[in-house]
Amino acid sequence: MKELDPFIILAVFQEMLGPMLWILLAVVILGLLAFAVLVVREKGLVSRRLVRSEALGVIGGALALVLMAKVSSSGFTDAAGPADWFLIALVFGAGLVGSTILVYTVAGWWSTRRRPAKTARL
């Protein structure tokens, strides 16, 4: 393969994940949109929530590796060269970052819902 064609990559992911590809893409797009709105609404990041989300993001990275092993025809024992280990690290990193953003977003909107609304004084 001499050139990188996005449609080929899309076809490979569609073959590996099936309909779950579109569900994952929807979660990514909606999660990033909700994250952006939350950050703008709160005028920045909340450090305590971010640290907790990063800790839970490690679990998301591990789950991404489990998903990768499930949808591919090879396992972790088949990883031979540095490119294989780089891909494994990349999948873990993507799962870590993605789940950190999703946990931060859900926790932020959850705390916003639980907080009572301030009443305006005239």
CB-CB contact of 92 with 65 (8 Å): yes
Would the pLDDT of 104 be above 60? yes
CA dist., res. 16 & res. 22, Å (int): 12
This prediction has a pTM of: 0.78
Q: Which comes out higher in pLDDT, residue 37 or 13?
A: 37
Question: Distance between CA 27 and CA 74 in Å, rounded?
Answer: 26
In angstroms, the CA 28 to CA 83 distance is 26
Question: Is 100's pLDDT higher than 90?
Answer: yes
The answer, yes or no, to whether residue 1 has pLDDT greater than 90, is no
Q: Is the dihedral of CA 95, 100, 101, 103 positive or negative?
A: positive
Two structure tokens written together for 49: 């929530």
Write out pLDDT tens, residues 38-95: 999 999 999 999 999 999 999 999 999 998 888 877 766 777 778 878 888 998 999 9
d(CA 21, CA 5): 18
The domains of the chain are located at: 6-114
Can you read off the two tokens belonging to residue 1?
Answer: 């393969």
Angle at 64 between CA 34 and CA 112, to 5 degrees: 25
